[in-house]
Amino acid sequence: MTLTVPLIGVLDQEGIDIIKRSVGTPYYSTARLSEELGHEYDRITFVILTDYNNQPFNIIAQNNNININQNNCIEIWMPIQAFNRDFMVYLHRQLANIDIDNFNEWAPYINRGGDDRFLIRLMRLAN
């Protein structure tokens, strides 16, 4: 199962600030940043990985911008705290069937190898 969303739309302000600094545009508005990233770079797909018993054990991010020039690529390990809280609850409930607000479900997920951050690849906007 996968879920594709606009990246800027699911980040909180701290996450947007991390993106702005990382791509070299700290003074852009959120709308301008989304415009510059465009449809190709402002989308991210979350995918659930399962173990041999078909049990979900990790959610990963797959960027849709596969053809990005590596010289213009920025990689960010975005912590889940930088995402909108409601979106993270929804994502983990839909893909991994866990309640991240319930420690009895969250701790085993992390123990099995579930990440608390996502690798995001973006293009550098400023030199």
Domain boundaries, the chain: 2-123
Give yes or no for residue 39 having a pLDDT over 90.
no
DSSP 83: B
Give yes or no for residue 85 having a pLDDT over 70.
yes
Give Cβ neighbours of residue 37 (< 8 Å, ≥ 6 apart): 7, 8, 23, 122, 123, 125
Contact 90, 59 (CB under 8 A): no
Give yes or no for residue 17 having a pLDDT over 90.
yes
pTM over 0.75: yes
pLDDT the model gives residue 110: 87
Question: Chain-centre distance of CA 5, in angstroms?
Answer: 9
